[in-house]
Amino acid sequence: MTLNTGAGLKRDRVRDFLLDFVADMRAGEAIPSERDLCKELGVSRPTLRAAIDDLVRSGVLVREHGRGTFTGPHRVTQALAATPSGSFYAPPAEGHWLSRILEFGSAPAGPQLARRLQLAPAALVLRVVRLRVVDDEPMAIERLHLPHLLVDGLVPDDMESGSFYRVLRERFGVDVRSAVQTIEATVTDETEAALLSVPEHFPALMVERTTRDVNGGIVEFTRSIYRGDRYRVTSELHFDAASG
Amino acid sequence: MTLNTGAGLKRDRVRDFLLDFVADMRAGEAIPSERDLCKELGVSRPTLRAAIDDLVRSGVLVREHGRGTFTGPHRVTQALAATPSGSFYAPPAEGHWLSRILEFGSAPAGPQLARRLQLAPAALVLRVVRLRVVDDEPMAIERLHLPHLLVDGLVPDDMESGSFYRVLRERFGVDVRSAVQTIEATVTDETEAALLSVPEHFPALMVERTTRDVNGGIVEFTRSIYRGDRYRVTSELHFDAASG
DNA sequence: CGGCACAACTGGTTAAGACCACTCTATCCG
DNA sequence: CGGATAGAGTGGTCTTAACCAGTTGTGCCG
């Protein structure tokens, strides 16, 4: 167990060594302790930690304070192959989609939300935060905001499974018609990373969506964080003659 | 010039101090040297560097080896406000869009590209790599691949400015009609970071696009990297009665 | 007067060691 | 027998102290 004597930064050589070392381990297995690795590789702990930092950032390793450092729960390459393509609105039937409700309650809109939902700032808004899970793998965090008046009587169970839009239509007579969404690149913050089981600063998509009903009234404003390694957005576009 | 004595990690306090310090500086201005800051703040250099690392990762500061550390060329909040919304196909007329051609040449397709473009692996493919620039700020890296047969005689100048799709139509009789694109979250690698003037591992959108002409033939396969702080994708969606 | 070399910066990397915070386990005491 | 506790092991943070590698300006020498 020794380091390549090749050129390059020591930190990078340590990183590459660890990458090889980890390659034929199963997910979630522990690697040797930092102090042991230092002795075996003949590098200082800061150097070793810098190498591990890289691998933690890229999701290969996961640290647990007081317990050890473990191989990541998944490989990114595997993850990419499993990515469900399709629109955000019609997730593929494959896999067991579930929602874990993290937050459910009403409060006054406040200035920002009031503008987004075109309500008075004092109007009540139902705020729901849910974790979307497919086959026991967290996929996304959705933060939904709906005018409370529109969905009075909605209970958390309504959002645990099945189609929320169907519930809106059948129970509340709200007929969703159109949406404007913006997609942008971001990275996870601490809270999001923990919920999605990915490292902090992991690539992610932030999607903001404003949905309107048939009358043009705003039904919801939703801000979601999707895991970058599990989600891709596919869309088809058509051009008319004037485009260029 | 001294540190808050508040609780929390020293690294975080240094980071917050620098954030304040930088707040009323102009873009591109130099901050004091690391050694000076250490003395003035009473922290060790690794601690200071860890704090600076955070700010470099988030784009607030930019390091230049041998020269110094500078405030980022932009503020993220400013950048978000200036983000051009709209489709990828009709960038707003505002701002001076330019392209810097980085690569321009033909080569055999090879197996992967052949599949993407539905060509024989030995067929020639024109590969163009260009940096899209708006108002002197790099925005995106586009890697285009076109069947060489389709665009024989295309020169780099054709892609420097104006609409590439118009050139295709007027010069080569290629009438672009539809495209399928996928968007996913990623972070910049070393090369991309350098070209886009952002830190490595900066949030970015990767967009893959396959474009077809009126006859259904494949015109191009393009893989682009867009700066996450400068680009957002907005789309409008309409539901029919069956959706849910 | 001009070009080249050196010196004095800058950030970049690595080392060795100390101490803190958290987790787990094994042992001791009730 | 069971629960509390101490200790050993883990990662987390911070310090001091070098040396390496680029950049830039100054001053000497041709």
- pLDDT tens digit sequence for A10-51: 888 888 888 878 877 777 788 999 999 998 888 899 999 988
Calculate the dihedral angle through the C-alpha atoms of B117, B118, B119, B121, rounding to the nearest 10 degrees.
Answer: 90
**Distance, Å, B18 CA → C21 C1':** 27
How far: A67 CA to C25 C1' (Å)? Answer: 12
Radius of gyration of chain B (CA): 23
Enumerate the residues of chain A whose CB falls inside 8 A of the CB of residue B205. Answer: 183-185
B178-191 mean pLDDT: 77
Instruction: Determine which of A38-47, A167-176, A211-220, B160-169 has the lowest per-residue pLDDT on average.
Output: B160-169
What lies within 8 Å, CB to CB, of B244 at 6+ separation is: A163, A165, A166, A169
Which residue has better confidence, B111 or A241? B111
pLDDT for A42 equals 87
Average pLDDT over residues B171-194: 79
Name which of A57, A139, A187 to mutate to probe chain B: the one with the most chain B Cβ atoms within 10 A of its Cβ.
Answer: A187
Distance A95 CA to D21 C1' (A): 53
Question: What CATH number should be reported for the domain holding residue B100?
Answer: 3.40.1410.10
Choose from A78-92, A95-109, B74-88, B218-232 the range with maximum mean pLDDT: B218-232
Q: A214 in a domain, yes or no?
A: yes
Q: From the Cβ of B34, is strand C under 7 Å away?
A: yes
Q: How many Å apart are CA B244 and CA B242, to the nearest integer?
A: 7
Question: Is residue B126 situated within a structural domain?
Answer: yes
The overall average pLDDT reported for chain A is 75
End-to-end Cα separation, chain A, in angstroms? 59
Residue B59 has pLDDT above 70, yes or no: no
Same domain, B83 and B135: yes
Who's near A188: CB < 8 A, 6+ residues apart? A196, A198, A199, A200, A201, A202, A204, A225
Residue A5 lies in a domain: no
The type of residue at B184 is: E
Q: What is the mean pLDDT of residues B169-186?
A: 77
- On whether any CB of chain A is under 8 Å from the CB of B182, the answer is yes
Q: Flag whether pLDDT at B79 surpasses 50.
A: no
For residue B244, give the nearest of A57, A166, A184 by CB distance: A166
Asked if B4 reaches chain A (Cβ–Cβ under 8 Å), the answer is: no
Amino acid letter, residue A85 = S
Which one, of B212, B73, B223, lies nearest residue B140 by Cα? B223
Identify the helix (H) or strand (E) that includes residue A192.
helix A190-196
Å from the B5 CA to the C27 C1': 42
Q: Which of B178, B201, B237 sits opposite A237 (nearest CB)?
A: B178
Provide the domain limits for residue A177: 76-236
Q: Is the pLDDT higher at A72 or at B133?
A: B133
- Looking at the structure, do residues B39 and B96 belong to the same domain, yes or no? no
Chain C: nucleotides below 7 Å from protein CB are 9-18, 21-24
A112 touches chain B (CB under 8 A): no
d(C-alpha B72, C-alpha B55), whole Å = 9
Asked, for residue A191, whether it belongs to a domain, the answer is yes
Residues A53 and A99 placed together within one structural domain of the fold = no
Higher pLDDT, A71 or A160: A71
Q: What is the pLDDT at residue A221? A: 93
Residue B67 sits in the same domain as residue B99: no
Lowest mean pLDDT among A100-104, B72-76, B214-218: B72-76
State which of A231-240, B41-50, B57-66 shows the largest mean pLDDT: B41-50
Q: What is the pLDDT at residue A75?
A: 39
Rounded to the nearest angstrom, the minimum Cα separation between B127 and chain A is 20
Residues of B in contact with A235 (CB under 8 A): 180-183, 235
What pLDDT was estimated at residue B126?
Answer: 92
B124 min Cα distance to partner chain A (Å): 25
Measured CA distances, B49 to B38, B41, B62 (Å): 9, 12, 12
**Same domain membership, residue A86 and residue A112:** yes
Task: Tell me whether residues B180 and A237 touch, CB distance under 8 A.
Answer: yes
CB A30 within 8 A of CB A38: no
Residue B183 and residue A178: Cβ atoms within 8 Å? Answer: no
What pLDDT, in 10s, does the model give residues A93-139?
344 567 788 888 888 888 778 888 888 888 899 999 988 877 667 88
- What is the percent of chain A where pLDDT is above 70? 74
Sorted by sequence, the CB contacts under 8 Å of residue A35 that are 6+ apart come out as: A45
State yes or no: pLDDT of B203 exceeds 90.
Answer: no
Q: For chain A, what percent of residues have pLDDT higher than 90? A: 7
Verify that B124 and B190 share a domain, yes or no. Answer: yes
Alpha-carbon distances, residue B108 vs A165, B105, B147, B171, B224 (angstroms):
49, 10, 10, 24, 21
- Domain assignment of residue B107, yes or no: yes
Domain boundary among A71, A88, A111: A71
B106 and B186 inside one domain: yes
The per-residue pLDDT for A205 is 86
CATH number for the domain including A28?
1.10.10.10
Do the Cβ atoms of A182 and B236 come within 8 Å? no
The residue type found at B123 is A
Chain B residues whose CB is inside 8 A of the A184 CB are: 83, 205, 228, 231-233
Q: Note whether B41 and B111 are same-domain residues.
A: no
Are B124 and B168 within one domain? yes
The verdict on A192 and A120 lying in the same domain is yes
| pLDDT number for residue B140 | 87
- Interface contact flag, A203 B186, Cβ < 8 Å: yes
Strand D proximity list, CB < 7 Å: A 31, 33-36, 45-46, 49, 63-69; B 9-11, 42-47, 50, 64-67
ipTM of the complex, rounded to two decimals: 0.47
Looking at the 3D structure of chain A, how many domains does it have? 2
Q: If pLDDT is split at 50, 70 and 90, which confidence band does A2 have?
A: low
A180 and B237 within 8 Å at the Cβ level: the answer is yes
B44 touches strand C (CB under 7 A): no
Q: A192 in a domain, yes or no?
A: yes
Percentage of residues in chain B having pLDDT higher than 70:
76
**Chain B residues within 8 A of A232 when measuring between CB atoms:** 182-184
Q: Given pLDDT bands bounded at 50, 70 and 90, which one contains residue A166?
A: confident
**Burial (Cβ within 10 Å: 0-12, 13-18, ≥19) of residue A205:** buried
Domain endpoint, select from B71, B94, B114: B71
Interface of A with B in 15-54 (CB under 8 A): 46
Using the 3D structure, point to which of A34, A51, A71 is the last residue of a domain: A71
Instruction: Give the residue nearest to nucleotide D10 (CA to C1').
Output: A66
CA-wise closest residue to B210 among B197, B219, B201: B219
pLDDT at position B77 is 29
Q: What is the mean pLDDT of residues A216-236?
A: 78
A243 inside domain: no
For position A143, what pLDDT does the model report?
A: 92
Same domain, B82 and B66: no
Instruction: State residue B91's pLDDT score.
Output: 37
- B81 and B53 part of one domain: no
Distance in Å, residue A16 CA to nucleotide C15 C1': 20
A87 part of contact set with chain B, CB < 8 Å: yes
The verdict on residue A105 lying in a domain is yes
